[in-house]
Structure 1
Amino acid sequence: MFRTAGAWDAPSADPNDEQFGDVVETTTVDEAGGYDAVLVGEPYDGAVIGREGAAEGPAAVRDALAGAKTHHFAAGAVESVADLGDVVLVDEDVEVVQETVAEAAAAVHETDAVPVFVGGDNSLSYANAAPLLEAGSLGVVSFDAHLDCRAVRGGPTSGTPYRQLFDAGLDSLTVVGARHFETSTAYAEFLDDQGGAVVTAERVDVDLAGALAAALDAMAGVDYVYVSVDVDVLDAAYPGSSAPTPGGLQPRELFRLVRGVAADDRAVGFEVVETAPPLDEDGRTVDAAARTVAHFLAGHHG
């Protein structure tokens, strides 16, 4: 089910520089419950609508995270994190991949650790979150430039995961960082019909605290919250994603928002998807994705 992760290594020679490479350990599903959080790589981009490259995301994000310091000024040092390795994928067909990933995700959700899925394209969001639907009512806070509520035509894609989740029983979806002129009216109306909410990138810029409150208000009444970050939520100055566009969030805004949602006691899973190293410049999108993982961990355990 999982390909064992390689040993983590911290690049700094300073003994005072505790980095994620110093503290992340490798583990198995049977031992995962001994950690607060576990990383799961998902190297697949066979369903991406836009540009490919996200299959290389897990390795690059791990490498960038290994060199990040563990200290958060408010939460202290992040600790108790392990790496399960990559989900083993033996077929490129997206429906088969979703089934394989959903089985692996279910096994991780059954442990006491919070899963941190590192993709991979956005089609995997369905597989990562779907097992939680069996545990109770579920809401998703999605940080994304797009709504990803397209109807499934001829097979799932990176644009269909939340339509699939609603069809499977998803209770609530809030999309934070969505941009004007990046979605179609039909999909906006679909989300509205489902009782979903949109918190635009403009609203985040004007009132970040209010945007965070609106995102969490839309989760009222659900038992569990799943948190998803598509790195195209960032401004196009961070080009290492399938579909970068102007007008997006800055990393500092994303970090604060993710920490705020992670601090909710109902947050039971996290993912960062669509990080495409071959499309990046100077590794800045990869670095932002890695630090988004760190901020989720700090918020969840702070």
Structure 2
Amino acid sequence: MTSDDTSTGRAGDGARPAPRGPVDSSRVPRFAGPATFARLPRLDETPGADVAVVGVPFDTGVSYRPGARFGGNAIREASRLLRPYNPAQDASPFALAQVADAGDIAANPFRIEEAVETVEQAAGELLDTGARLMTLGGDHTIALPLLRAVARRHGPVALLHFDAHLDTWDTYFGAAYTHGTPFRRAVEEGVLDTSALSHVGTRGPLYGKSDLSDDAKMGFGIVTSADVMRRGVDEVADQLRQRIGDRPLYVSVDIDVLDPAHAPGTGTPEAGGMTSRELLEILRGLAGCRLVSADVVEVAPAYDHAEITAVAASHTAYELTTLMCRQTAEGR
């Protein structure tokens, strides 16, 4: 079987080769060949990457339904349907910058603390090459080591957190590192710029009103899913851009930010969520922000009938990747 890759169109400038793009689907059907993200080359098949797509198959930090350890590969499989031109952003991202699939970070599934350290070190090594990271989870525990690694390179970063839940709780069963605690730890460790922290899409019952007051003390602003519905995506995106300003930005997307009708395949679903269209439009509205890395987490394919969740997650990663590729081309 042949698998001919095609460059997506940018001529080399003498300093670097044109980016190597995805497999040509007119020659190799989308259902054939290795399931790298968007059918892009592996990192070891390129001189380097401007954006490295990396999986973290880890879900030891979940508090309810497990299975997100299989999320990264489910997103990769769903991404076979992605195409090289993104009309919503009027960009051919894989021609603007080199995007490559860096495989998975293998983290110990039995020792959370060790897994956190492993993810931090591996992410740091990828960032040290000059790449931005598009990470496919895995549960939300992995956001903490990713933020540590990004902050070492860029300093404290602004955070835009899409999620049904706050993920700023203190502990679960005495454990400090879980999928419900990463952003409290990140604030405590000083890796976040507390003047530019936002949750988007939160909803559902809480343990008590103190959850909200504690969250506010950490510096978070909240745009609920009901706010998105009432105010509209353009107003929300504009508010977020103003809050972020020119700070280095990390975007973390828990796929349960979407309503279970749009993302049933996740560990802790909540009714009343955003639509996939709303999420994608808000992400597109971040054009101009300085996006340094991002993640999409909590896809649990065992609960994902017809791959609805994986498809939504693959398009979410595609929009974020497009933003990073545009910034690379603009020299930002």
User: What is the TM-score with the length of structure 2 in the denominator?
Assistant: 0.80
CA contact (8 A) 2:160 2:200 kept: yes
Q: What's the counterpart of residue 256 of structure 2? A: 232
Are 2:170 and 1:147 aligned? no
Of 189, 193, 204, 1:171 maps to: 193
Q: What's the counterpart of residue 26 of structure 1? A: 42
Note the alpha carbon deviations across 1:232-254, whole angstroms, 9 max, x for none.
Answer: 00001121011111111111111
CA distance in 1, matches of 2:162, 2:111: 26
| Alignment map for 1:144-293 (pairs within 5 Å) | 144-152=163-171, 153-169=174-190, 170-172=192-194, 173-182=197-206, 184-206=208-230, 207-220=232-245, 223-237=247-261, 238-261=263-286, 263-293=287-317
Q: What's the counterpart of residue 87 of structure 1? A: 105
Q: Which amino acid aligns with 1:162?
A: F
Q: What's the counterpart of residue 122 of structure 1? A: 140
How far off is 1:130 after superposition? Answer: 1.2
Q: Which amino acid aligns with 2:78?
A: A
CA distance in 2, matches of 1:16, 1:100: 36
CA contact (8 A) 1:10 1:20 kept: no
CA distance in 2, matches of 1:184, 1:110: 41
Note the alpha carbon deviations across 1:163-214, whole angstroms, 9 max, x for none.
Answer: 1100111223200111143564222111211221001111111221121122
Aligned in 2, Cα 1:204/1:108: closer, same or farther, shift over 3 Å? same
Q: Which amino acid aligns with 1:78?
A: P
**Which secondary structure state, in structure 2, belongs to the residue aligned with residue 69 of structure 1?**
coil
Q: Which amino acid aligns with 1:179?
A: R
CA contact (8 A) 2:37 2:101 kept: no
Q: Which amino acid aligns with 2:41?
A: E
Are 2:157 and 1:138 aligned? yes
CA distance in 1, matches of 2:323, 2:238: 15
Note the alpha carbon deviations across 1:19-43, whole angstroms, 9 max, x for none.
Answer: 98776111149943xx331111100
Stretch deviating more after TM superposition (23-32 or 114-123): 23-32
CA contact (8 A) 2:244 2:289 kept: no
Q: What's the counterpart of residue 17 of structure 2? A: none
Stretch deviating more after TM superposition (121-130 or 69-78): 69-78
CA contact (8 A) 1:10 1:21 kept: no
CA contact (8 A) 1:136 1:223 kept: no
Of 69, 75, 97, 2:90 maps to: 75
Q: What's the counterpart of residue 59 of structure 1? A: 73
How far off is 1:64 after superposition? Answer: 0.9
Of 125, 131, 137, 1:107 maps to: 125
Aligned in 2, Cα 1:16/1:46: closer, same or farther, shift over 3 Å? closer
User: What is the TM-score with the length of structure 1 in the denominator?
Assistant: 0.88
Unaligned runs of 5+ in 2: 1-20, 327-332
The alignment of Structure 1 onto Structure 2 pairs a total of residues equal to 290
Of 294, 298, 301, 2:318 maps to: 294
CA distance in 2, matches of 1:253, 1:140: 19
Aligned in 2, Cα 1:12/1:133: closer, same or farther, shift over 3 Å? closer
CA distance in 2, matches of 1:226, 1:87: 19
| Greater gyration radius | 2
Q: Which amino acid aligns with 2:135?
A: F
**Which secondary structure state, in structure 2, belongs to the residue aligned with residue 76 of structure 1?**
coil
Unaligned runs of 5+ in 1: 1-7
**Which secondary structure state, in structure 2, belongs to the residue aligned with residue 175 of structure 1?**
strand
CA contact (8 A) 1:178 1:233 kept: yes
CA distance in 2, matches of 1:187, 1:55: 28
How far off is 1:139 after superposition? Answer: 1.2
CA contact (8 A) 2:304 2:310 kept: yes
CA contact (8 A) 1:29 1:84 kept: no
